[in-house]
Structure 1
Amino acid sequence: MTYHMAIDIGASSGRLVLGTLQDGNIKLREIHRFANGFHERDGSCFWDIDYLFGEIITGLEQAKAQGIEQCTLGIDTWAVDYVLLDHSGHRIQEVYAYRDRRTEHAMELLAEEISPATVYGKTGIQQLNFNTLYQLFVHDREELSRTDSLLMVPDYLYYLLTGKKGNEATNASTMQLLNLDTRNYDTELLELLGLRQEQFPGLIEPGVELGSIRPELMEQYHLPECRVIVVATHDTASAVLGTPATKGRHAAYLSSGTWSLLGVELEQPLNHAQAMAANYTNEWGAYGTFRFLKNIMGLWLIQEVRRLEGNRYSFAELAELAASAEPFRSLIPCNHDRFLHPEHMIEEIQRACEQYGEPVPESIGQVARCIFDSLALSYRSYLEELEQLTGQSIDLLQIVGGGAHNELLCQLTANVLEREVSAGPTESTALGNLAVQMISSDVLPDIKEAREVILNSFDIKYYKPEPVQDLGRIVERWSKLNKTAEAGTIK
């Protein structure tokens, strides 16, 4: 039996998941799980990258202790954040977290140097103030001048394991620095940042084998013998790969976690003016595809509510409290920048409701219900945009990732969308990571077959839409609320 290890690290947690193919089905076993989160120091937000690497080593040691002598290994993480290395291969400084407030005005500043339309035409990447392009634009220029290599976070973890440098293409595309025509770093954008092409290691496609773990690590720790394979290192790219086959349905995906990513897979990018105006992105996917999608604030909202409540409620309990609250009582423009990293999420939600003329939620159940109702309405709005931009009608929304556990949100989404929703698998990111390893190892022939296997290996729950009283008025109210928020006006 061949073993495959998915190292899947998100903004709030990470885990090592062992995958095998047995009797035509994929079997998963979680080996190790650990918490993650940025910390604040001197007004800035940073990741503890050494801690994350230490947890990878701990997980691999646990795998060895459980009898795993050999395996393949792949890493995926969140996008856009980067590591600067000097000529000795050492980090120049700590790793900034994308929620750091240093980029609040970066888009406006860069727009004085180059028009957003030009950037979008080159890269096809949506305008988000935490994109790597804007992070680098405000980064200390002296540190950039000392940089020998810039690696994205998962590629840095690969480097620590193997000593080999490269930037995997699906994640590198989120930097907003790759040119769609040349399929390389855009020289004009690099010049604006004061950077050079040679500071960026070459792009690597998913499926490339890097080799083995460095001998000194093998000597220091009790690790399995690993064939290290570059997977789709952006967790959303892996989640899309891990989305099950649809049996002829016209489907869109919703990768639901800290962020909600709603989109479709395309063979060609859509980087025209209408796509830019709607702020859709064309991230590179594995196997010659593009992920045409919209970033939505996602379960970060409820994660922060839970944290502020001292984690005394589970996510399931928060969903139960929301289910008992009045539906559509309070709504927020949940994709507004004000919710990206507020000082206090609950108070920010209450303040937004007061400013936009919505009833202020008081109880935790009302706050949670406000979040879930608003997310479902945002999914409807963006799915309709997606159909208009692509010319594709969609009759099924596939929710994958942790949000597939939330039965209330899944049913709400089906009701508001007025179309069927499928939920699962929740482990889509790990499955997409494993799928690339299995294809690279000739265990599976291609991604089409991998998705068929995923469909047959896991229980998928389907939600039929149920009528919502006065849905048209609710949708109109939510639309007006968002227009008010976009205009920067309050009632």
Structure 2
Amino acid sequence: MATTTDYLALDLGAESGRGMLGRFDGERLGLEEMHRFPNGPVQMLDTLYWDLPRLFDEMKTAIGKTAAVKGSLDGIGVDTWGVDFGLVGRNDTLLGNPVHYRDARTEGMFDAAFKRISRDRLYEITGLQFLPFNTVYQLLALKLSGSPLLDSAETLLMMPDLLGWLLTGERAGERTDSSTTQLLDPRTGEWSDEICRALDLPRNILPRLIDPGSELGMLRKSVAAEVGVSQPLTVIAPPTHDTASAVAAVPAVGPPAAPGAPPDWCYLSSGTWSLLGVEVGQPVITPETQRYNFTNEGGVAGTTRLLKNIMGLWLVQESRRTWARAGNEMSYEQLMAMAMSSRPFTALIDPDDPSFLSHGDMPSRIAAFCKRTGQTPPDAEGPLVRTCLESLALKYRWTIERLEGIVGTKIKTIHIVGGGSKNTLLCQFAADACGRPVHGGPVEATAIGNILMQALGRGRLGSLQELRAVVARSFPVTVYEPRNTRAWDDAAGRFEQLVKD
């Protein structure tokens, strides 16, 4: 009988975090949720922060609960969202609390950056999508505001690396999350000295880089004693960017494509954000990828994730919070039922319109977009949610069509993974809008990819192909076949008029 190895994934998302125990017997992976906790921003004076002390405390709770069940673990791995970071100074001093990417400090930073380095040159070096909250603009905001933090910093650590440092005392930058900074050259795999010089950012604070699956270090003795871990415990750097872990766990099986050939499937990591793309062997940095604002982010096993960040279920999440603040509390299940019974295609929006990015009254912003584009705004909660979901599905279609042209392939299957794969209405809309079957699941793809990449790093798996075969054997998927595509073809024509290339 094969030996079972046990790994803990500490998987933190923008709305919640979880500690997931994975038991791998060499053929299949079993998952058990050990601890789940909410996450979200904290407003303090004029700045929006992440509550790092509480997040770290929740992680320790997850480790402690797991240690009480399992006497020993073969590894722990942390993954989070991208772009955000913390600064560490002398004597392992944490310099402030990490700022949330939706904070207003990056307003105007595009213009400030492009006065120092051209937009074209910045994209040519990094191949990264222009998003106003990318790490480079957050750092530039610190620089231009005269913040003393940069002068005191020894090391910049992205959020998962920061949490890894709190666990181990080791400072390192895992490549997949580092690739979201717009400071990394994906061709060389190294930090860009040219960008740092152009923007007058301190190159010396950028950490040494490590590959996903690398051992980061041993759990601090003080943390181990606090949570009741008696055996030495290794912290492993999985793909620390949550999307990279999720993409690693896409259950795409079958014969591998010929060397250099693009895949015939795409992934959609669905949650607060929708990250839709293809896995390629090397960065794709062309005038077309820049025109359509595609991004090249680090993947596993030497791959690149060529993708587009789409606003995602944030539109629904923030609308729900707005209604709750007004005393109208509704579950997601209620909202989806109301959306399903609403009339189709009454209004459409571009999910990536800049007005939808920040916290606040989302229904009013959606209504303003509709009025601005000559449409009648949704008049109730159900129609508004349906507008969001239909518009997301049409943005997926728009993105896939452009991806096919860029990489020269025909996408046959859409793999939707992550929490959004539970949204059956959105999955069906995606199949209908795109005219392709959607394979939904696994829901916990990020934790699964985290765990199995730890196993790969430990030598329990030999390749990414083997890893995905384990996922396919271990977790079922739901298949959504396209239907009523003609109505979606008509809606796509309207949608094209709303989306600016």
Unaligned runs of 5+ in 2: 256-262
- Is 1:375 aligned to 2:392, yes or no? yes
Q: Shift of residue 23 of structure 1?
A: 6.9
Report the counterpart of residue 214 of structure 1 in structure 2.
220
- Is 1:113 aligned to 2:130, yes or no? no
Q: Is the 8 A contact 2:63 2:227 kept in 1?
A: no
Q: Is the 8 A contact 1:70 1:224 kept in 2?
A: no
Instruction: Name which of 458, 475, 490 aligns with 1:441.
Output: 458
Distance in 1 (CA, whole Å) between partners of 2:74 and 2:122 is: 41
Q: Shift of residue 355 of structure 1?
A: 1.6
Q: Is the 8 A contact 2:435 2:485 kept in 1?
A: no
TM-score, with length taken from structure 2 = 0.94
Q: Which amino acid in 1 is paired with 2:243?
A: T
Report the counterpart of residue 7 of structure 1 in structure 2.
10
Report the counterpart of residue 258 of structure 2 in structure 1.
none
Q: Which amino acid in 1 is paired with 2:319?
A: V
TM-score, with length taken from structure 1 = 0.96
Report the counterpart of residue 235 of structure 1 in structure 2.
242
Structure 1 residues 458-473: aligned runs within 5 Å? 458-473=475-490
Q: Shift of residue 197 of structure 1?
A: 2.9
Distance in 1 (CA, whole Å) between partners of 2:68 and 2:488 is: 55
Q: Secondary structure of the residue that 2:91 maps to in structure 1? A: coil
Distance in 1 (CA, whole Å) between partners of 2:337 and 2:368 is: 24
Q: Shift of residue 432 of structure 1?
A: 0.7
Report the counterpart of residue 489 of structure 1 in structure 2.
none
Q: Shift of residue 104 of structure 1?
A: 2.2
Structure 1 residues 408-419: aligned runs within 5 Å? 408-419=425-436
Distance in 1 (CA, whole Å) between partners of 2:102 and 2:343 is: 32
Instruction: Name which of 379, 393, 405 aligns with 2:422.
Output: 405
Q: Is the 8 A contact 1:145 1:195 kept in 2?
A: no
Instruction: Name which of 201, 204, 209 aligns with 1:195.
Output: 201
Q: Which amino acid in 2 is paired with 1:395?
A: K
Q: Is the 8 A contact 1:342 1:348 kept in 2?
A: no
Instruction: Name which of 295, 315, 326 aligns with 2:309.
Output: 295
Query: Over residues 294-347 of structure 1, what are the superposed CA-to-partner deviations in whole Å (9 max), with x where a residue is unaligned?
Result: 000001111112222328322222111100000111111111111001421111
- Is 1:396 aligned to 2:413, yes or no? yes
Q: Is the 8 A contact 1:60 1:224 kept in 2?
A: no
Q: Secondary structure of the residue that 1:148 maps to in structure 2? A: strand
Distance in 2 (CA, whole Å) between partners of 1:133 and 1:230 is: 23
Structure 1 residues 424-439: aligned runs within 5 Å? 424-439=441-456
Q: Shift of residue 187 of structure 1?
A: 0.9
Structure 1 residues 244-283: aligned runs within 5 Å? 244-247=251-254, 250-283=264-297
Q: Shift of residue 468 of structure 1?
A: 3.8
Q: Is the 8 A contact 1:168 1:232 kept in 2?
A: yes
Q: Is the 8 A contact 2:48 2:99 kept in 1?
A: yes
Query: Over residues 378-430 of structure 1, what are the superposed CA-to-partner deviations in whole Å (9 max), with x where a residue is unaligned?
Result: 00001001101111110111100111111111111111111111101011101
Structure 1 residues 133-212: aligned runs within 5 Å? 133-139=136-142, 140-141=145-146, 142-212=148-218
Q: Is the 8 A contact 2:253 2:465 kept in 1?
A: no
Q: Is the 8 A contact 2:19 2:33 kept in 1?
A: yes
Distance in 1 (CA, whole Å) between partners of 2:185 and 2:247 is: 22
Q: Which amino acid in 2 is paired with 1:205?
A: D
Q: Shift of residue 246 of structure 1?
A: 3.5
Q: Which amino acid in 2 is paired with 1:166?
A: A
Query: Over residues 122-170 of structure 1, what are the superposed CA-to-partner deviations in whole Å (9 max), with x where a residue is unaligned?
Result: 1111111110011111114432122111110110111011000000011
Q: Shift of residue 212 of structure 1?
A: 1.6
Query: Over residues 445-481 of structure 1, what are the superposed CA-to-partner deviations in whole Å (9 max), with x where a residue is unaligned?
Result: 2211110110111111111110145433311111112
Query: Over residues 229-288 of structure 1, what are the superposed CA-to-partner deviations in whole Å (9 max), with x where a residue is unaligned?
Result: 111000010010011124358100000011000000111111111111110001011111
Question: Cα 1:218–1:478, aligned 2, differ >3 Å: closer, same or farther?
Answer: same
Instruction: Name which of 286, 300, 303 aligns with 2:300.
Output: 286
Unaligned runs of 5+ in 1: 487-491
Q: Size of the alignment, in residue pairs?
A: 484
Q: Which amino acid in 2 is paired with 1:167?
A: G
Distance in 2 (CA, whole Å) between partners of 1:167 and 1:119 is: 21
Report the counterpart of residue 259 of structure 2 in structure 1.
none
The worse-fitting range, judged by mean Cα deviation, of 236-245 and 437-446 is 437-446
Q: Which amino acid in 2 is paired with 1:455?
A: A
Q: Secondary structure of the residue that 2:180 maps to in structure 1? A: helix
Report the counterpart of residue 318 of structure 2 in structure 1.
304
- Is 1:423 aligned to 2:437, yes or no? no
Q: Shift of residue 118 of structure 1?
A: 0.3
Q: Which amino acid in 1 is paired with 2:246?
A: A
Q: Shift of residue 71 of structure 1?
A: 3.5
Q: Which amino acid in 1 is paired with 2:242?
A: D
Q: Is the 8 A contact 1:435 1:447 kept in 2?
A: no
Q: Shift of residue 224 of structure 1?
A: 5.8
Structure 1 residues 310-349: aligned runs within 5 Å? 310=324, 312-349=329-366
Distance in 1 (CA, whole Å) between partners of 2:339 and 2:11 is: 29
Q: Is the 8 A contact 1:106 1:129 kept in 2?
A: yes
Distance in 1 (CA, whole Å) between partners of 2:103 and 2:49 is: 8
Distance in 2 (CA, whole Å) between partners of 1:28 and 1:233 is: 19
Report the counterpart of residue 16 of structure 1 in structure 2.
19
Instruction: Name which of 125, 128, 143 aligns with 1:125.
Output: 128
Distance in 1 (CA, whole Å) between partners of 2:360 and 2:424 is: 29
- Is 1:86 aligned to 2:89, yes or no? yes
% identical equivalent positions: 39
Instruction: Name which of 32, 55, 72 aligns with 1:52.
Output: 55
Q: Secondary structure of the residue that 1:175 maps to in structure 2? A: coil
Q: Is the 8 A contact 1:316 1:406 kept in 2?
A: no
Report the counterpart of residue 40 of structure 2 in structure 1.
37
Q: Shift of residue 444 of structure 1?
A: 1.9
Distance in 2 (CA, whole Å) between partners of 1:224 and 1:53 is: 20
Distance in 1 (CA, whole Å) between partners of 2:212 and 2:230 is: 22
Query: Over residues 90-119 of structure 1, what are the superposed CA-to-partner deviations in whole Å (9 max), with x where a residue is unaligned?
Result: 122221111111112211211111111101
The worse-fitting range, judged by mean Cα deviation, of 431-440 and 442-451 is 442-451
Q: Shift of residue 218 of structure 1?
A: 1.9
